[in-house]
Amino acid sequence: MRVTDLTLGCLVILAGIAIFISAIDFTVIPGQSYGAGTMPRAIAFATVGTGIFLTVKALLAKGRFGLELEEWVFNRGSLLRIGMILALIVFYIAGAPILGFAPTAFLILIVAMLVLGTRPLIAVPVSLVATVAIQQSFGKLLLVPLPRSDFLPFLW
């Protein structure tokens, strides 16, 4: 999923302008000429400059607008696997506070492994061991307050 140089240049210019507009309302430090807006504005100017450079260069090379799509975009398997990884992260964010760390983690591991093609005979024990190992090492040894599962008190 690749945009052409000309598109990239124009996108960068637009981003720079957007940053500048967003920074207009930032107040200065009372009694000073500088403050919250100074840095975003400086970034905005530099961004626009870079965008112009890219655009001009692309125009000189007779570039066109457009989006180049590689093979994987049309491959259902690839899209499924990428979507699954992203969905599993979302599942953790939503599920862990309810289910607790251990069940959520186990589900993520087992689903990801099976979808990616690990045989169940390997995926189940590996997921189980990895979940307990991570839960114990982080939760107990490193004292990270992972979400608790009240129905699995022996883990804590």
Partner 1 sequence: MKKTALLGTVFALTLAGGAFAQDSYPERPITMIVPWGAGGGTDAVGRIIASQLQQELGVPVNVVNRTGGSGVVGHSAIANAEPDGYTIGVMTIEIDMMHWQGLTDLTYEDFDILAMVNTDPGGIMVSADSEWDSVESFLESVKAEPAGTYTASGTGQGGIWHVGMAGWLLSEDLPANQITFVPSQGAAPGITDMVAGGVDMIPSSLAEGRSMIDAERVRPLATMSAERQEAFPDVPTLAETTGSDWTVAVWRTIAGPDGLPDNVRDTLVNALETAYNSEEYQSFMNERGFGLRWAGPEEATQIVAEDDEAFGEVMREAGLAAE
Partner 2 sequence: MTILIEAAALVFQPQVILVILASAAFGMFVGAIPGLTATMATALLVPVTFFMDPVPAIASIVTATAMAIFAGDIPGTLLRMPGTPASAAYVQDAYAMTRKGNSEGALGASLVFSAIGGIFGTIVLMTSSPVLADIALKFSSFEYFWLVVMGLSCAVFVSPGSPARGLISLFIGLFAATVGIDNPAGVPRYTFGSIELYAGVQFIPAMIGLFAVSEILRSVLNRTEMPAVQSGGGGIFKQQIANIVKYPFQVVRGSALGTAIGALPGAGADIAAWISYAISKKFSREPEKFGSGHVEGLVESGASNNAAMSGAWIPALVFGIPGDSITAIVIGVLYIKGINPGPMVFINDPQMIYAVFIVFLLANIMMLPLGWLAIKGAGTILSIPQRTLMPIILLFCIVGSFAINNSPFGIVLMLIFGIVGFLMEENDIPIAPAILGLVLGPMLEQNFVTSMIKSQGSFIAFFERPIAAGLGIATLAIWCIPLLLMLVARRGKASDDI
Q: Which does 17 bind (CB under 5 to 8 A by kind): partner 2, partner 1, none?
A: none
- Among 14, 21, 57, 98, contact with partner 2 (rule: CB under 8 A): 57
Q: Which does 61 bind (CB under 5 to 8 A by kind): partner 1, partner 2, none?
A: none
Footprint (CB under 8 A) of partner 2, residues 73-132: 78, 81-82, 84-86, 88-90, 92-93, 96-97, 105, 108-109, 112-113, 116-118, 122-123, 126-127, 130-131
Footprint (CB under 8 A) of partner 1, residues 23-82: 29-32
Q: Which does 156 bind (CB under 5 to 8 A by kind): partner 2, partner 1, none?
A: partner 1
* 56-to-33, 53, 96 alpha-carbon distances in Å: 34, 5, 49
Provide, rounded to whole angstroms, the least separation between the CB of residue 29 and partner 2: 5
- Among 64, 90, 143, 154, contact with partner 1 (rule: CB under 8 A): 143
> How many other C-beta atoms are found inside a 10 Å radius of the C-beta of residue 116?
11
- Among 22, 98, 125, 151, contact with partner 2 (rule: CB under 8 A): 22
Chain contacts with partner 1 (rule: CB under 8 A): 29-32, 143, 145, 156
